[in-house]
């Protein structure tokens, strides 16, 4: 069973509510995972090792007392046990007891390591999957760098909480109970009273001081997230920074965030020093009181010297877990703060969800229909205002129009990145809201304007269209996209790394890889969203033939800026201000002398100027001879 399949319902946790016990209750399902008997056995064995360690921890002070008493005359030096003097035997037992204590503590940690790491893995996977379920609207508003840091801190916080609550908090409470019982039985209520007051003051001070430090920690996390986001954003836009020579500005922005982080970090360490000093004052004040009572008992001969050592040994042993309780509480509170942002992400419901009973889409045509579709990103700014059109099976319909007319919104609605506000979109009569998102997107292929590739090989990026494709199928797709010869000419061929976001390839090369990826996917529906608008005219013409090949006999929706790419479309729809202004074939729209005709004439003039400039650049002397000005 995969981790994704066994992932339980996510807990709701906040650093401000519920406290430790509600957190442990919610996280118990990760420490005692369903369907993982091996991990449950490890939990039981870890608890067993923990109990053995605590038994040894309790016996060691008594052995120490017996050693002191034997040396002080309470037990004759000449007494023998198995032929060896009693003090020698007790010293050996003291060493063995400490070894058993240390050994079983380490065994406990080793046994529990798999449980803790499995919990981290499951929660990290849940978060990753949830991020992919969230809407495009969410991701457009988030910084990738800040998001990755939130998840990183959150998974570490989960590990902290799971480990410390399971392996430290409960055992320490058991040790307090055992020690308290020994104090009241052997030394009386007065000793126990001092111990209880000391422990209570210690915990009260630790909780108060730790709660104060939480706000500082949160501010430090925010500044860390901000700095990391700025750094990644700047590096992803490396070329833009160079274009404008803004390295200094980027460094200043990053340093401003780091300065805020520096101030918070200094406050964190300063407050930690105050916390540690306060804890030491409280504990050692209690130790002094108990020590004075014990000294008086020894002087009055109501206690032996070994009893004095026993008391101090127990106090030292209590200080270790008591100090750990303070550390554990601080770590758990800080862990809760660290996972708070991650859990806020998990609490955010996906904007687009499969409705109950949604079925996989059934493709027969496919025929796409937009029926009186209205949509807006912001209620104050409508994008589509009642758009209706049909893309018949196997036909190519183009949507053109000025910038901001709503062209790209149509492709996003068809992919169901957003739901329509009014009206509906159907494929073969099936409302997109009634089918599963996975099956819908599997039926659609996209060649976008801005092709972003994964930082991997060319083969990986092409195979992304169909991960189970063979090498021959990948090569065939590359050939159909007219990029096969280029790839074969590279030193590493299909294993060539494309770099971050594909920056090692040119715009035309990246676009051909995107076309090959879509060819390999072999979708029933094809969307070309401004697929050549970012390319020069020469590259556009080269890629257009590849696009014609991939769109042949497919239901195709073309979102176009350059009208030269849609002249052969079966129908052209002209959008203006979110409404259909004109529709028809290329020749028919030109004859109407309307908006499409105006756009066509402007682009044709721009193309003629571009072509003239290219010819002048290629043959300046020839143009001078013909009386035309050469390019400077």
Out of 59-68, 423-432, 565-574, 604-613, the most confident range is: 423-432
* 440 vs 620 pLDDT, higher one: 440
Output the pLDDT for position 448: 81
Output the pLDDT for position 167: 66
Lowest average pLDDT, out of 180-184, 236-240, 256-260, 406-410, goes to 236-240
How far apart are alpha carbons 466 and 481 in whole angstroms? Answer: 15
* 283 vs 32 pLDDT, higher one: 283
Indicate if 169 and 83 belong to the same structural domain.
yes
Indicate if 436 and 548 belong to the same structural domain.
yes
Q: Which of 468, 466, 509 is nearest to 485 (CA)?
A: 509
How far apart are alpha carbons 60 and 320 in whole angstroms? Answer: 14
Indicate if 470 and 532 belong to the same structural domain.
no
* Contact (Cβ atoms closer than 8 angstroms) between residue 390 and residue 367: yes
Please, what is the angle between helix 537-551 and helix 507-521, to 10°? 0
Output the pLDDT for position 539: 63
Indicate if 381 and 245 belong to the same structural domain.
no
Q: How much is the average pLDDT of 238-266?
A: 82
**With 60 as the cut, is the pLDDT of residue 623 above it?**
no
Distance of CA 474 to the CA centre of its chain: 31
Asked whether residue 388 is assigned to any structural domain, the reply reads: yes
Share of the chain above pLDDT 70, in %: 81
Domain boundary pick from 347, 375, 404: 347
Asked whether residue 231 is assigned to any structural domain, the reply reads: yes
Instruction: Summarize pLDDT for 446-466 with one digit per residue, the tens.
Output: 888 777 788 888 899 899 888
Domain boundary pick from 470, 500, 522: 522
Instruction: Summarize pLDDT for 15-32 with one digit per residue, the tens.
Output: 444 445 555 566 677 777
Residues 6+ apart with CB under 8 A from 414: 368, 425, 432, 444, 525, 527, 557
Kindly report the number of other CB atoms within 10 A of residue 2's CB atom: 7
Asked whether residue 610 is assigned to any structural domain, the reply reads: no
How far apart are alpha carbons 279 and 248 in whole angstroms? Answer: 46
Q: How much is the average pLDDT of 390-401?
A: 91
* 273 vs 148 pLDDT, higher one: 273
Output the pLDDT for position 335: 73
Q: Is the peptide bond before 120 cis (omega within 30 degrees of 0)?
A: no
Indicate if 273 and 418 belong to the same structural domain.
no
- Residue 333 structure tokens: 């509170």
How far apart are alpha carbons 136 and 364 in whole angstroms? Answer: 29
CATH of the domain at 122: 1.20.1560.10
Residue corresponding to tokens 């908006």: 595
The one-character DSSP state at 497 is B
Asked whether residue 1 is assigned to any structural domain, the reply reads: no
Indicate if 439 and 474 belong to the same structural domain.
no
Asked whether residue 2 is assigned to any structural domain, the reply reads: no
Asked whether residue 327 is assigned to any structural domain, the reply reads: yes
**With 80 as the cut, is the pLDDT of residue 524 above it?**
yes
Output the pLDDT for position 384: 92
Indicate if 283 and 409 belong to the same structural domain.
no
Output the pLDDT for position 82: 47
Share of the chain above pLDDT 90, in %: 13
Asked whether residue 620 is assigned to any structural domain, the reply reads: no
Q: Which of 109, 94, 328 is nearest to 210 (CA)?
A: 328
Out of 146-155, 412-421, 614-623, the most confident range is: 412-421
- Prediction pTM value: 0.63
**With 50 as the cut, is the pLDDT of residue 6 above it?**
no
Instruction: Summarize pLDDT for 134-183 with one digit per residue, the tens.
Output: 767 776 666 555 666 677 777 777 777 766 766 666 667 777 777 778 87
CATH of the domain at 491: 3.40.50.300
- Kindly tell me the burial class for residue 189, based on how many C-beta atoms sit within 10 Å of its own C-beta (0-12, 13-18, 19 or more): exposed
Please, what is the angle between helix 189-236 and helix 305-347, to 10°? 30
Asked whether residue 294 is assigned to any structural domain, the reply reads: yes
**With 60 as the cut, is the pLDDT of residue 98 above it?**
yes
Indicate if 484 and 530 belong to the same structural domain.
no
Indicate if 374 and 492 belong to the same structural domain.
no
Q: How much is the average pLDDT of 94-111?
A: 82
Number of domains in the chain: 3
Instruction: Summarize pLDDT for 587-603 with one digit per residue, the tens.
Output: 999 999 989 999 888 88
Indicate if 44 and 185 belong to the same structural domain.
yes
* Contact (Cβ atoms closer than 8 angstroms) between residue 33 and residue 39: yes
Indicate if 101 and 229 belong to the same structural domain.
yes
Residue corresponding to tokens 């998974």: 155
Domain boundary pick from 469, 502, 522: 522
**Count of helices and strands (H, E) across the chain:** 21, 12
- How, if at all, do strands 525-529 and 444-447 pair? parallel
Residue corresponding to tokens 């739901």: 419
* Contact (Cβ atoms closer than 8 angstroms) between residue 561 and residue 576: no
Q: Which domain holds residue 578?
A: 364-443+523-598
Indicate if 424 and 562 belong to the same structural domain.
yes
* Confidence band for 347, pLDDT divided at 50, 70 and 90: confident
Output the pLDDT for position 23: 56
Residues in a beta bridge with 584 = 572
């Amino acid at each position: 069973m995969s981790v994704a399949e066994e992932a339980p319902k996510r807990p709701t946790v906040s650093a401000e509510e519920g406290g430790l016990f509600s957190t442990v209750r919610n996280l118990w399902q990760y420490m005692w995972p369903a369907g993982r008997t091996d991990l449950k056995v490890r939990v039981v064995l870890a608890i067993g090792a923990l109990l053995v360690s605590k038994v040894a921890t309790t016996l060691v002070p008594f052995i120490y007392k017996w050693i002191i008493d034997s040396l002080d005359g309470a037990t004759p030096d000449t007494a023998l046990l198995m032929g060896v003097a009693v003090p020698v035997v007790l010293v050996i037992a003291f060493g063995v007891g400490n070894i058993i204590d240390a050994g079983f503590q380490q065994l406990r940690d080793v046994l529990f390591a798999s449980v803790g790491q499995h919990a981290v893995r499951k929660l990290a996977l849940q978060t990753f999957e949830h991020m992919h379920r969230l809407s495009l609207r969410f991701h457009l508003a988030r910084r990738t760098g800040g998001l990755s840091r939130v998840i990183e801190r959150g998974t570490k916080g989960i590990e902290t909480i799971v480990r410390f609550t399971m392996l430290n908090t409960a055992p320490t409470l058991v040790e307090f109970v055992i020690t308290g019982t020994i104090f009241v039985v052997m030394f009386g209520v007065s000793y126990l009273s001092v111990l209880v007051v000391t422990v209570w003051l210690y915990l009260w001070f630790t909780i108060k001081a730790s709660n104060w430090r939480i706000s500082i920690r949160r501010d430090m996390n925010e500044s860390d997230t901000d700095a990391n986001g700025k750094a990644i954003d700047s590096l992803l836009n490396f070329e833009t920074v160079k274009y404008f020579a803004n390295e200094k500005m980027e460094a200043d922005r990053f340093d401003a965030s780091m300065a805020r982080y520096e101030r918070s970090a200094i406050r964190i360490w300063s407050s930690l020093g105050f916390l540690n000093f306060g804890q030491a004052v409280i504990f050692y004040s209690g130790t002094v009181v108990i020590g004075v009572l014990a000294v008086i008992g020894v002087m009055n001969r109501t206690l032996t010297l070994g009893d004095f050592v026993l008391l101090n040994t127990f106090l030292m042993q209590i200080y270790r877990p008591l100090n750990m309780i303070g550390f554990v509480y601080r770590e758990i509170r800080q862990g809760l703060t660290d996972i708070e942002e991650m859990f806020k992400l998990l609490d955010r419901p996906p904007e687009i969800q499969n409705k109950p009973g949604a079925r996989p889409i059934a493709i027969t045509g496919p025929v796409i229909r937009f029926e009186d579709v209205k949509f807006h990103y912001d209620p104050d700014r409508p994008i589509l205002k009642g758009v209706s059109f049909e893309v018949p099976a196997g036909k190519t319909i183009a949507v053109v129009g000025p910038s901001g007319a709503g062209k790209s919104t149509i492709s996003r609605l068809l992919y169901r990145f957003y739901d329509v506000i009014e009206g509906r979109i159907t494929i073969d009569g099936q409302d997109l809201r009634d089918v599963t998102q996975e099956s819908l997107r599997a039926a659609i292929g996209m060649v976008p304007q801005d092709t972003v590739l994964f930082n991997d090989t060319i083969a990986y990026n092409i195979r992304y269209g169909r991960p189970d494709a063979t090498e021959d199928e990948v090569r065939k797709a590359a050939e159909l996209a007219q990029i096969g010869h280029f790839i074969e000419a590279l030193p590493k061929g299909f294993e060539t790394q494309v770099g971050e976001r594909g920056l090692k390839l040119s715009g035309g090369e990246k676009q051909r890889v995107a076309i090959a990826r879509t060819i390999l996917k072999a979708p029933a529906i094809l969307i070309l969203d401004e697929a050549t608008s970012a390319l020069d005219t020469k590259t556009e013409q080269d890629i257009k033939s590849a696009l014609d090949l991939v769109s042949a006999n497919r239901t195709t929706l073309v979102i176009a800026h350059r009208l030269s790419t849609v002249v052969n479309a079966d129908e052209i729809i002209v959008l203006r201000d979110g409404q259909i202004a004109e529709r028809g074939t290329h020749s028919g729209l030109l004859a109407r002398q309307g908006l499409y005709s105006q756009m066509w004439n402007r682009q044709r003039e721009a193309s003629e100027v571009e072509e003239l400039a290219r010819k002048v650049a290629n043959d300046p002397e020839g143009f001078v001879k013909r009386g035309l000005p050469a390019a400077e």
